[in-house]
Amino acid sequence: MEKNDGVLTEEEVSSCLSNLGHSATGLEQVYQFLSVPGRNLNNVSILCNYVHLQKLELPYNKIKDLSCVSHMPYLIILDASHNQLTDFFGFQPPKNLKEVNFSHNQMSVMTHLSAYSSLSKLNLDYNCFSEIGGLLHCASLTHLSLAHNKISCISGLDKLPIKDLCLRGNQIEKIENVETLRTLQVLDLSLNRITSLSGLQNLHLLGSINLESNLISEIKEATHIHDLCLLRELNLQRNPVQEQLDYRLAVIFLLQHLTGLDQEKVTVEEKVSAVNKYDPPLEVVAAREHMSHMVYQLMQPQVIYDSTLPSLDSPYPMLVLTGPQACGKRELAHKLCREFNDFFAYGTCHTTRGPYFGEEDGSDYHFVTEEDFQNMIHMGKFLQTMQYAGHWYGLSREAIEDVAREGLACCVHMELEGVFSLKNSHFEPRYILMIPTDKEQYGRRLRTRALYTRTQIDTAVARVDTYALINRERPVFFDNVIPCDEPVEAYRTLRQVVKDYLGVEEQGGEDQSTTDTPDNTSTELKRDSLVDEAPPAPSTRPETVFKSHSAPDMDPSDHNCRKYYNKVQAQLTPQKTSAELASILRRQQLVREALMGKSPRAYTQLFKRYTIPYHSDLIGVYTSNQQLFSASTASPVVLIGHI
């Protein structure tokens, strides 16, 4: 075909027309598409005669004038990329023009496009624009690309319905004037000079952000887009922030809804690792603490502890009172140990905080320095530790052994974190939750004590909901739940619960019906928030409980069922003769003397000391021994909720 020095001829047009169809008026058949790429054209004036074109493609030419488009009223798509155009829309606007590609031209000034009301997609990449303007009346504009220009400031986009905005490869230093782009879904600001993500926090429909090759250096910048719940893709490649330690996990933790980071898929394992590193659940913290304590303990000389009992099915009995700060659990523990001093003794914990008014070192807590506390950890002296309000608290092995050495059960108090940690140990305490049901009254009580800051009070009050949530979501986590709004009533209920555990009868005509024994789902925060539905109160008589369950429903692998089975088996075992009982007791004493090198205490009955003058007393002691060991691990009252 003969060349005409860059002038488009009718023959060339005829060979490039396509898509025969109805004209816009529907009255005739016309060719709708024309594509003439890469022919070094500089004159396309012949196209003034092709008024029915709906799609015109003239890329990779040398065109400087597109005035012919003024004669195409039905034109919808125009591609004039890779030419030499300098005029911004240098033609009369076609009424239905929707897509325009002017990339790779020589335009430098954006004029007003108020007449282009149908324009929805505009590509102005690789031009010489230094400012965005003239688009405010483009009410249909959804896709705008101004990549690789000379733009230094984002402006002129107020309230446009843009969904996809590309400003890649400019000179932008700050994200600004985009807060009104409420429909924005995809944003590309790569290859700029941006140092902060501030300015994106109100774009709640954003699903993809590309900030590759910028100057972002702080992980905390991700907090600006933390609340963008639809954000799925974020690219921070080749930013200084990538050099920070654990950068990827930190960003994944701050933006947990991400599915892709730096063009790599975010895996489930990464999300779990991020949460466990920066905001681990209580179970994870407790497991880590327990592993550390076990390692440190195994590095020390191993001994047989006083809390070690002859039977594997009868763990050392402990009672743990737990609840939010200053709910009265420490006072209740002391009072309980004073009244039931034949059964319990107080286990004194260690802490790094200073003593409050009225607290005694060695009685309420062992007050130690941070250095001493850490040394005790490294010496393997703690069973569980926790950090609360900037201070360390810990229950030492020696605190329990001091009580066990006296032949008594250990009563301690701790916060929720301590309970999670202690549950990882081999001990199987009874856990009683003391919880305020009136948070306003609880807050006033904290303020009245004048010991805590406002922040500490707010934290303590907020933790009431945490305790309630744990009890609601884990029905067997606590053995009992007792409201502690009224200290007198709380102790009366606690006293009855403990008596039911021990099987102690009420003395001297006291009214046994004044306080029901609560189980772990019987108390409600505001009477509704602790549990969704409270079951009927269980009977306090062991015989009734045992008869209310059938063996086929029990899973032998379940710990609670195993304790229940052991208790029932102990009751059904035939009574031994006096000679057998005396022999068993004597052998237990001899074995302990041989192992410990001293005369042992009466561990065959932890809660009471006794003598055995007669045969009937001997049988009673043995039976009591078995029942009390079982009571310390499987209370009949609680078994209703467990099995």
Residues forming beta bridges with residue 395, ordered by sequence position: 384
CA angle centred on 158, ends 157 and 163, rounded to 5°: 65
Neighbours of 393 (CB within 10 A): 22
Of 209, 115, 133, nearest to 165 by C-alpha is: 209
Across 40-49, 357-366, 580-589, 593-602, least confident range = 593-602
Res. 208: pLDDT tops 50:
yes
The residue whose two tokens read 């920070």 is: 244
- Give the C-alpha separation, 410 to 490, whole Å: 20
Closest CA to 325 of 422, 436, 432, 410: 436
**CATH architecture designation of domain 1-107:** Alpha-Beta Horseshoe (3.80)
DSSP letter at 553?
G
Please give the Cα distance from 595 to 310 (Å, whole number): 12
Give 559 or 65, the one with higher predicted confidence. Answer: 65
Instruction: Compute CA distances 294 → 277, 381, 579, whole Å.
Output: 21, 10, 42
Are 52 and 23 a contacting pair, CB within 8 Å?
Answer: yes
Q: Which amino acid is at 634?
A: A
Q: Greater confidence, 438 or 634?
A: 438
pLDDT tens digit sequence for 468-504 = 999 999 988 999 999 999 999 999 999 999 998 888 7
DSSP symbol at 405: T
- Give residue 581's pLDDT: 78
Superfamily (CATH) of domain 118-279: Ribonuclease Inhibitor (3.80.10.10)
For the chain, the average pLDDT equals 83
Inform me whether the pLDDT recorded for 601 exceeds 60.
Answer: no
The predicted structure's pLDDT at residue 36: 96
Q: What mean pLDDT do residues 570-579 have? A: 62
Q: Which range (130-139, 491-500, 502-511, 560-569) has the least confidence?
A: 560-569
**Continuous segment of H or E residues that includes residue 165:** strand 164-166
Is residue 611 predicted with pLDDT exceeding 90?
Answer: no
Rounded to an integer, what distance in angstroms lies between the CA atom of residue 177 and that of residue 184? 13
Token pair listed for 527:
């009477």
- What is the reported pLDDT for 452? 86
Q: How many CB atoms lie within 10 A of CB 585?
A: 18
Whole-prediction pTM: 0.70
Mean of the pLDDT values across residues 159-188? Answer: 96
User: Are both 1-107 and 118-279 of the same fold?
Assistant: yes
SS (H, E, C) 117-151: CCCCEEECCCCCCCCCCCCCCCCCCCEEECCCCCC
Looking at the predicted structure, is the pLDDT value of residue 385 above 50?
yes
Q: What class has domain 282-304+318-504+512-532?
A: alpha beta
**Mean per-residue pLDDT for 537-559?**
38
Helix axes 578-596, 615-631, angle to 10 degrees: 60
Report the pLDDT value the prediction gives residue 256, as an integer from 0 to 100.
94
* Residue 261: closest CA among 279, 284, 242: 242
- pLDDT tens for 33-89 read 999 999 999 999 999 999 999 999 999 999 999 999 999 999 999 999 999 999 999
Please report which confidence band the pLDDT of residue 524 belongs to, taking 50, 70 and 90 as the band edges: very low
Structural domain spans, the chain: 1-107, 118-279, 282-304+318-504+512-532, 547-642
- For residues 303 and 310, what is the distance between their CA atoms, to the nearest angstrom? 15
Strand ranges across the sheet with 318-322: 344-346, 409-414, 318-322, 430-435, 480-483
> Quick check: 229 pLDDT over 60?
yes
> Of 320-329, 425-434, 587-596, which range is least confident?
587-596
d(CA 259, CA 336): 54
pLDDT at 25: 85
Mean per-residue pLDDT, 503-511: 57
User: In 3D, which of 458, 461, 382 has the Cα closest to residue 424?
Assistant: 382
Residue 6: pLDDT over 50: yes
Reply yes or no on whether the pLDDT at 596 is more than 50.
yes
Proportion of the chain above pLDDT 90, given as a percent = 65
Nearest to 414 by CA among 492, 482, 355, 333: 333
pLDDT at 595: 58
| Cα 387 from Cα 318, distance rounded (Å) | 22
Angle between helices 268-278 and 247-254 (to 10 degrees): 90
- Half-sphere exposure of residue 134: CA atoms within 13 angstroms, side-chain side: 15
